[in-house]
Structure 1
Amino acid sequence: MAAASILLDESSPYRSRRVIVERGPGATAAYLLNAQGRIRVPVWLANHEPAPATGDPASLYQGEAPLMPAAHTKHPQGRPPVEAARVRAVWFEEGDGVALLEDGELLAVIPGWAEADRGLPGYARDAVGHTPYAWALDTAPEQLRSRVFHARSYWHWRSTPDAWRSVQRAVFNHLNRTVGPSGHYWDISDGYPPLLRVSERPPTERRPYTVLSTVGMCGQRMPTVERYLADPSPYARVELALATTGEPHLAARIFRWIGTFPWRAVTWFGPGHSVKWLDNPEDAALRGEYSAVLLVADPTPLGGEQYPPPATFGLTFHGDPVTWLWIVPLTRSQRLFAKENDAATVLDKLAAEGRSWVLP
């Protein structure tokens, strides 16, 4: 960043995004950065001196707040400087977008789907029309304002003592009903939200395998879903699970990285998605020759006639359905095949190879 006054510098609760509000000599701008510190989305906020007739937005990408051209600001003569004590950030539940408030009123919104490289900057209250600097907040979809209201309510709820317990109870009781009695219960959190646990469901008379399931992923919506789907609700909340006849405590180690992956990598998990297996020694015993995992909503085609998977559907959280995605390891060649074909074709191929959804 160039020499300037930093009014706000705050990371998202998931530590995968960071917002900086910077006041330069003549203007104030905000920058949404990734975890590596690279500017993803800059957005102009206000001019503090008379606006020029034209301008060059390139300095936004260099961390320098430019002056908005006169035709595109509500205050062509400038407005009083933005003050640090009057600005705060409200992160979206997913952690991929942020709203900026000045004295409690919307100053700007950088949605999770904003991408400056594609001509989609954030929205600013003082902007007029659509420019590379910012889009007018007046023209923002009404649901964007609703999202900000939801975000404030969500983080208020998360700050209450019973919030995390309510997530645990909802998932744990659902597993009791749909999978069976519980066994061990492991904490796999890494010190930052989301808080996560793994619940073991030992074999029963009806199934000779152990089920391991995350507990807590559904407590927050996954990032970026709305980039790809008009209605993210059916896909926004998941839990992950796997079935194994091996040592549960060894198999459970995979959840330490994959459970938080959507929020750390700012991505989402959906049925049929494949995820590269992170190279770490902790779950090497389970990884073996595999290089990725396939996430499957219904693993029945992979030997489910012999060992039917539990019917885990039926849970909702904050109005969204929760989908359980089952982990099926993939070799390198299988992953390459999965990247080029749809989930049904991949499952057909794995079934033809004799693969089972139950891990040894």
Structure 2
Amino acid sequence: MADPVMLIEQANNRGTMYAVVEQDDRTAYFYLYPSELLASKYSPRPCWLRNLQPAPEKKDIAAMKEGLAPMLEARFCNHPEGKAPLEAALINIVWMEEGDGASVFYDGELLGVIPGWTLYSEERSVAYAADCIGAADDSMMFPLGTPATNQLHQRVAQATAFWDDWTSETNQTWSILQQQFLSAYEAALGPVTQYYAIDGDQWPPMGMARFEKDEVVYFLTLGVSIRPMPWVEILYSDEAPGFRRMELALAISKKDYSEKEIMNLAGIVSGIADRPWKQVTWLGEGHTISSSELPVPYESVVLSAALYNGPAIELPKMYNDTVNLYWVSPVTKPERLFAHQNPNGGYELLEKMIHHGINHIIQPREQVVAG
């Protein structure tokens, strides 16, 4: 029996997941593997693509006992006699925009999909294949079906169009988006005083604009919302378009903090901007993030749109999704521990902060919880 041969391996945009297509002399499979840093948090996910030999009548337990990829049963595949082996040159991987799921094309035809949301499923990994025509009750494999029967076709087409747009030599999307966001910020805060690139020369383009108004220094990001965040699709389902995109903002009292302290805080925001994709996580209202760069007595920050009480900032939609603008506010260790005491602790902390008159502007304040 021949050993499996890797036909293609491709990492996602941040190297957190790897897409692999392998085949031996019996079957071909598509896999998504987490990077080494995430291997303890997430598991590999398999997607059967085709049998290369006649399919077994029953579940291929013998192969699994030998640590081999199982062939799909005859009644569940559209080629019970087997198909020709895949050719590496005809394989193409298309990642979902979040970077946690992917699809595989063969000679221009969609062959298999591993959706991002299956990464977070505690029950089992799930995958969809074009050559699968049925599934057992305990199966991980399901038919991909047609665009009329499975919305994954639309999701893959959307992802394909997204990457085609951003890799086009004539792409003007960033210059348009950049101006839209800057115009929205300037309408509320006045002209930009400085602009910083915060993408580290990696895609997507991300920037941070600085503003000064009424003795307050503001920093607001743009471009972070180009990518939807991981996790949100499974957490919010049909409401995901309202929560999967974000930009970050910071407001600091110029009278109370030095320029060095102000820029350190801006650096924290810059570091948070890529966090969802580097760590395959998500950020939202009430989430806290620790940092050693904060001025005493703070040791973490909390994200909140609710803290903001300034002039309205009307952000443009991103691919028809709402973009949430989360203000970064420092919190003490007891406040962070309070936020982690129960599932809604972050909201409860923000309620206490707002009750004590704390808003989006960072300035000296009293701690809002005992500690």
2:25 is the alignment partner of 1:41: no
Residue 243 of structure 2, aligned match among 204, 212, 235: 235
2:284 is the alignment partner of 1:270: yes
Once the two structures are TM-superposed, the CA of residue 32 in structure 1 deviates from its matched residue by 0.8
Cα 1:168–1:289 change in 2 (3 A) is: same
What is the letter of the counterpart of residue 185 of structure 2?
A: L
Once the two structures are TM-superposed, the CA of residue 83 in structure 1 deviates from its matched residue by 1.2
What is the letter of the counterpart of residue 22 of structure 2?
A: E
Counterpart of 1:189 in structure 2 is: 199
Counterpart of 1:69 in structure 2 is: 73
Task: Measure, in 1, the Cα distance between the counterparts of 2:218 and 2:79.
Answer: 61
Once the two structures are TM-superposed, the CA of residue 310 in structure 1 deviates from its matched residue by 3.5
2:185 is the alignment partner of 1:178: no
Q: Secondary structure at the match of 1:317?
A: coil
Cα 1:65–1:287 change in 2 (3 A) is: farther
- Once the two structures are superposed, the pairs formed by residues 275-290 of structure 1 within 5 Å of their partners are 275-277=288-290, 284=293, 286=294, 288-290=296-298
Greater CA drift, 30-39 or 42-51: 30-39
CA contact (8 A) 1:57 1:133 kept: no
Task: Measure, in 2, the Cα distance between the counterparts of 1:259 and 1:112.
Answer: 21
Q: Secondary structure at the match of 2:239?
A: coil
What is the letter of the counterpart of residue 266 of structure 2?
A: A
What is the letter of the counterpart of residue 115 of structure 2?
A: P
Q: Secondary structure at the match of 1:320?
A: coil
Root mean square deviation, CA, Å: 2.6
What is the letter of the counterpart of residue 13 of structure 1?
A: N
Counterpart of 1:326 in structure 2 is: 327
Cα 1:112–1:344 change in 2 (3 A) is: same
Cα 1:133–1:7 change in 2 (3 A) is: farther
Could you list the runs of 5+ residues in structure 1 that have no partner in the other structure? 301-307
What is the letter of the counterpart of residue 347 of structure 1?
A: L
Counterpart of 1:137 in structure 2 is: 144
Task: Measure, in 1, the Cα distance between the counterparts of 2:150 and 2:277.
Answer: 26
How many positions carry a matched residue from both structures? Answer: 342
Cα 1:289–1:46 change in 2 (3 A) is: farther
Once the two structures are TM-superposed, the CA of residue 109 in structure 1 deviates from its matched residue by 0.8
Task: Measure, in 1, the Cα distance between the counterparts of 2:61 and 2:352.
Answer: 53
When normalised by structure 1's length, the TM-score is: 0.86
When normalised by structure 2's length, the TM-score is: 0.84
Once the two structures are TM-superposed, the CA of residue 330 in structure 1 deviates from its matched residue by 2.4
Counterpart of 2:273 in structure 1 is: 259
Task: Measure, in 1, the Cα distance between the counterparts of 2:62 and 2:235.
Answer: 28
What is the letter of the counterpart of residue 325 of structure 1?
A: Y
Q: Secondary structure at the match of 2:351?
A: helix
Greater CA drift, 331-340 or 144-153: 331-340
Could you list the runs of 5+ residues in structure 2 that have no partner in the other structure? 364-371
Cα 1:106–1:287 change in 2 (3 A) is: farther
The structure whose RCO (Cα within 8 Å, separation 6+) is larger is 1
CA deviations over 1:128-160 (Å, ceiling 9, x no partner):
323534211128863211111111111111123
